[in-house]
Amino acid sequence: MRIERMRWSPASTGSARTRSLGLLAAGGLILLSGCDLGVSNPALIEETDLDTSNAVPAIVNGALGSFGIATTINGGGGIYSASAVLSGELVHSGSWVPVREISEGIPNNESPENQSHWGNTSQARWQAEDAAAKVQGLVSDPTSNQWVALAQVYAGFTNRIMGEMFCDAVIDGGPRQIHTAFSERAVTYFGDAAQTAQAGGHANLRLAALAGRAQARLMLGQVDQAVADASQVPTNFVYAHVHSENSTSEHNGVHNWAFRGDNGFQYSVWGTEFAGYGRDSFNPGAGGDPRVGFRSVNAAGNNQVGGDNRRPVWRAEKYPLRNSSIPLAKGTEMRLIEAEALLRSGNVPGAVGKINEVRAHHGLSSASAATPAEGWALLVRERGIELWLEGRRLGDLRRWGQDGTTSPFAQVQVVGRVATGQPATADPTRNVQDGDPFCLRVSTNEIFSNPNLFTNPPR
């Protein structure tokens, strides 16, 4: 699918003409009369211009474009990259202070980079929700239309992501809510999408909606309902967000930042648990899981350090191209949801069987676990590997960390602060659960401009 970006806003209904009331010249204010200095902006699109069925593809694809920007482009590689360093999938190896703060477990909400995490994701959510509502009034078959279902699916995924990643929910200028308010909205949108797709015979969108709803329900602790959705999704199913070479805003930003090393090699696999799990393409004979591919040297075969001139750069190879797609939902994850439910019911052999279905799908040997503790350790590792750099680890570790049964298995160590004056190998590790906070924060732009937050601001 080719992604076309188009932006619109309720504020765009004002006049396209701007009138100059005066100008400052020769040290004095000269007021001009009898002259129309109005300027028309030929690029401005009024919201009413979109009230036609011909605009439907642009409206929906515009929402998809904003989703890609929020997840992988702005703010140092989008919220996928930010959540990756907060949850220990990557380590900061550059010189950007806001990214380093997140990597050290102390995300702020004031820097332009971190402001953009909330701002761009909120925009993507609003656009997807607005598209889902708007398009229904522009097509002749709103209850079965593919564009309607697609917009509803993306409204679901954007809300699902916000529920997993952000500390609090604030919706359209409203009050502070618990972060899972986004997850509840995701369940609703995915349910609408599944119904629309079912009515129209759009099989892939229906499966994407069911898989997305299973993800959101898992975040809400609705394990049985999550399994009911997951069981309908085949193991080989993948629904991905498409990136492209069309423009920089459509690139896979995780590739740009974690593989190409744009902006001074800000991210590295070095210093993470995944470096121990994965396979180094420079030394494939050493083994490791191919789902976590990285390279410990540069193209010339030499060691390389990041923009901080200290930490080794080990490039993540999961997304080798700027147009590599990023999965939003996979059948393999559905099997892991079923495995988690079986572990919660005490069925360790059944859970291991589901995990091995995933491993067999990738041509990997079977894993084993004999006790509940071994089963949980295996599941936490397998979900981390299977969903690596897909924007999922933060949500998983948050929900596991808040559950007394699973918390002991969600204590992840990753290199954190800098050991000043010493080599990078001396940098101490941190437990990601000690993040202060262990979530991305609502921006100060939102807090200072929303009167509903003045007396009860987000953290």
pTM above 0.85, yes or no: yes
Backbone angles phi, psi at 328, to 5 degrees: -105, -30
Q: Which of 27-41, 204-218, 227-241, 277-291 has the lowest mean pLDDT?
A: 27-41
Q: List, for residues 199-253, the tens digit of each pLDDT value.
A: 999 999 999 999 999 999 999 999 999 999 999 999 999 999 999 999 999 999 9
- Is the separation of the CB atoms in 72 and 78 below 8 Å? yes
- Would you state the pLDDT for residue 38? 54
Q: List, for residues 91-144, the tens digit of each pLDDT value.
A: 999 999 999 999 999 999 999 988 999 999 999 999 999 999 999 999 999 999
**Second-level CATH architecture of 56-235+437-453:** Alpha Horseshoe (1.25)
Distance between CA 216 and CA 294 in Å, rounded?
30
Asked whether the domain spanning 332-433 has the same topology as the one spanning 56-235+437-453, the reply is yes
In the chain, where the domains are located: 56-235+437-453, 332-433
Confidence of residue 40 (pLDDT cuts 50, 70, 90): low
Q: Are strands 289-295 and 278-280 parallel, antiparallel or unpaired?
A: parallel
CATH for 332-433 is 1.25.40
Q: List, for residues 321-377, the tens digit of each pLDDT value.
A: 999 999 999 999 999 999 999 999 999 999 999 999 999 999 999 999 999 999 999
Distances (CA, A) of 199 to 262, 368, 372: 44, 42, 42
- Would you state the pLDDT for residue 50? 76
